[in-house]
């Protein structure tokens, strides 16, 4: 792949863990991390970035295939539509995709994410089986398509093959609509083992993901953690938890314990863990997660779209909790949209402004961006340092719709402009681990990726029309 490899860059204005810094020279190491930084007048003649530069964010939660169903679920089909009726449409859609389709959709999504402020992705991958529910000859077939999409686009991938075995608490049998997701422990172990060599060859990180406490029993989660210790010790562990009120009610009905409490009862939750959504929490559950070192994976645009509820971000952040953002259903592909929605959810609830900031870090967007970059890196099993020695040489150059679009009064407001009034998210260069994958807003494989995606959409449309209307 023809990506330029940079050995460093000079930033006129960069967002570092210490805040905005001017005239920063950054040297990259051969492994794609930052070797050193210095504030100087660029004595080594490094390539200069006149526009503001921010660390790339890792999108910590994606189901790539859902990108292609955007627009299909915004129609009322029931007296009360909910997450659960949306899920029926998603299941229907998942039963139409070929391996080739899935790879083309993932590549198109990843291209958009690179232009949306993300330099990494955590793919929570749960479509494993063929259309009739039998495993592919190579069990890891669809995961390998995700690897190809990451390679083609240059997005930094952490891949989480998902363990999914049941339809609800208590190990209930799966439904027919879930047949492409279902694995037993032996099949899962074989797939994870087979993925290790190609992941290493492609530079991808592997982790594990019990889908949820609905889809994996406590005994199975214990077995999955043993498997991780044997095959990929210390790797990330992600799980959906407490996204919906019904999930909390079902958990209580099953054994009298709320989902987050159940999880902490059965597993040693620590920094390697990422709890996806964690929307419905008691005060003690907020404290438990914040003090565990785990990251909460917030997906504000999807959570709003699905009517999940509002995360207790003010309480959680006040206790030092780690969080990152995920595009989840991929209806939105800009990191700025997720952060804006996160802040706005708290403003609407509390009837205040500039909520997720402090008097020490008053710029809301810079505060949220830095925290989300660090939390996303932690959840992906990568260095958390940001644009500082030891961090990844992954960054995004911010541009504006036209020169002079923003008043040049306060340079530190650049990111606030992009997140809260960006009028679209505009990027110049995007660099991932020292490789320039987007140059002045253009990706070298863009034409191929878009064309392959359009062909896949035509195939999917034909199959959907063969099967009749959605839900």
Nearer to Zn ion, 328 or 384 (CB): 328
Would you call 293 exposed, middle or buried from its count of C-beta atoms within 10 A (0-12, 13-18, 19+)? Answer: middle
Token pair listed for 376 = 């996303």
Nearest to 142 by CA among 100, 177, 107: 100
Q: Which is nearer to Zn ion, 114 or 306 (CB)?
A: 306
Q: Which of 59, 156, 328, 429 is catalytic?
A: 328
Choose the catalytic residue: 61, 159, 238, 277.
277
State the number of binding residues for Zn ion (CB under 5 A): 1
* Closest CB 276 distance from Zn ion, rounded Å: 6
φ/ψ (deg, to 5) at 118: -100, 140
Looking at the Cβ atoms of 328 and 338, the one nearer to Zn ion is 328
Closest residue to Zn ion: CB criterion: 328
Whether the Cβ atoms of residue 285 and residue 279 lie closer than 8 Å to each other:
no
Residue numbers 327-346 binding Zn ion by CB under 5 A? 328
Measure the N-to-C terminal CA separation of the chain; round to a whole number of Å.
41
Least Cβ distance, residue 215 to Zn ion (angstroms): 12
Which of residues 60 and 437 has its CB atom nearest to Zn ion in the complex?
A: 60
Residues 196-215 that bind Zn ion (CB under 5 A): none
Residue 138 CA to residue 128 CA, distance in Å, equals: 10
What three-state secondary structure class fits 174? Answer: coil
3-state helix, strand, coil in the chain (%, to 5): 40, 20, 40
Residue 186 annotated in active site: no
Q: At what angle do helices 283-292 and 259-266 cross, to 10 degrees?
A: 40
457, 68 Cβ separation under 8 angstroms:
yes
- Rounded to whole angstroms, what are the CA distances from 103 to 97, 223, 334, 462, 470? 10, 30, 21, 18, 23
Q: Show the CA angle centred on residue 266, arms to residues 260 and 269, nearest 5°.
A: 65
DSSP code of residue 169: T
Residues in CB range of 464: below 8 A, 6 or more apart = 93, 96, 470
Q: How far is the CB of 83 from Zn ion (least distance, A)?
A: 11
Residue that the structure tokens 């438990």 belong to:
288
Per-residue binding string, Zn ion, 292-311, x by CB under 5 A, is --------------------
Q: Is 16 left (phi over 0), alpha (psi -120 to 50) or beta?
A: beta
Give min distance, CB of 65 to Zn ion, in A. 12
Nearest approach in angstroms of CB 63 to Zn ion is 6
Query: What is the nearest approach in angstroms of Zn ion to the Cβ of residue 212?
Result: 9
Q: How far is the CB of 97 from Zn ion (least distance, A)?
A: 17
- Between residue 310 and residue 329, which ones bind Zn ion under the rule CB under 5 A? 328
Nearer to Zn ion, 220 or 328 (CB): 328
Question: Which is closer to Zn ion, CB of 328 or CB of 397?
Answer: 328
328 catalytic residue (yes or no):
yes
Least distance to Zn ion from the beta carbon of 94, Å? Answer: 13
Closest to Zn ion by CB, 11 or 126? 126
Smaller CB separation from Zn ion, 86 or 92: 86
List all residues 6 or more positions away from 210 whose beta carbon is below 8 Å from its beta carbon. Answer: 162, 163, 216, 220, 221, 224, 237, 239
Site residues for Zn ion per CB under 5 A: 328
Q: Any idea which residues carry the catalytic annotation?
A: 277, 328
């Amino acid at each position: 792949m023809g990506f330029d490899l940079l050995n460093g860059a000079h930033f006129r204005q960069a967002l570092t863990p210490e805040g905005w810094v001017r005239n920063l020279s950054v040297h990259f190491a051969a492994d794609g991390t930052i070797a050193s930084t210095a504030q100087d007048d660029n004595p080594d003649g490094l390539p200069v970035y006149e526009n503001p530069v921010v660390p790339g964010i890792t999108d910590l939660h994606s189901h790539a295939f859902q990108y292609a169903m955007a627009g299909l679920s915004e129609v009322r089909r029931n007296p009360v539509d909910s997450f659960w009726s949306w899920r029926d449409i998603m299941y229907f859609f998942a039963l139409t995709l070929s391996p080739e389709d899935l790879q083309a959709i993932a590549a198109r999504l990843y291209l958009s994410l690179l232009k949306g402020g993300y330099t990494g992705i955590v793919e929570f991958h749960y479509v494993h089986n063929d259309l009739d529910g039998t495993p592919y000859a190579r069990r890891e077939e669809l995961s390998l398509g995700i690897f190809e999409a990451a390679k083609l686009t240059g997005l930094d991938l952490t891949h989480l093959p998902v363990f999914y075995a049941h339809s609800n608490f208590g190990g209930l049998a799966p439904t027919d609509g879930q047949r492409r997701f279902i694995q037993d422990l032996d099949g899962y172990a074989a797939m994870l083992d087979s993925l290790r060599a190609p992941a290493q060859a492609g530079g991808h990180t592997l982790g594990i993901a019990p889908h949820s406490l609905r889809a994996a029993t406590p005994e199975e989660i214990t077995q999955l953690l043993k498997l991780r210790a044997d095959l990929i010790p210390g790797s990330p562990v992600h799980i959906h938890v407490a996204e919906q009120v019904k999930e909390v009610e079902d958990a209580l009905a099953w054994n009298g314990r709320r989902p987050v409490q159940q999880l902490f009862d059965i597993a040693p939750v620590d920094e390697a863990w990422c709890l996806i959504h964690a929307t419905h929490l008691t005060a003690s559950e907020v404290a438990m997660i914040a003090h565990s070192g785990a990251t909460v994976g917030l997906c504000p645009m999807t959570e709003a779209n699905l009517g999940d509820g509002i995360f207790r971000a003010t309480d959680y952040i006040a206790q030092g909790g780690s969080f990152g953002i995920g595009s989840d259903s991929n209806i939105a592909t800009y990191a700025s949209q997720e952060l804006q929605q996160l802040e706005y959810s708290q403003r609407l609830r509390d009837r205040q402004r500039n909520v997720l900031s402090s008097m020490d870090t008053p710029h809301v967007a810079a505060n949220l961006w830095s925290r989300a970059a660090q939390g996303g890196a932690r959840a992906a099993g990568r260095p958390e340092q940001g644009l500082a020695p030891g961090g990844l040489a992954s960054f995004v150059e911010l541009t504006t719709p036209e020169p002079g679009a923003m008043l040049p009064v306060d340079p530190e407001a650049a990111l606030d402009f992009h997140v809260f009034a960006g009028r679209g998210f505009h990027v110049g260069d995007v660099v991932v681990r020292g490789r320039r994958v987007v140059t002045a807003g253009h990706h070298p494989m863009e034409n191929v990726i878009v064309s392959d995606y359009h062909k896949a959409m035509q195939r999917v449309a034909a199959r959907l029309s063969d099967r009749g209307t959605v839900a």
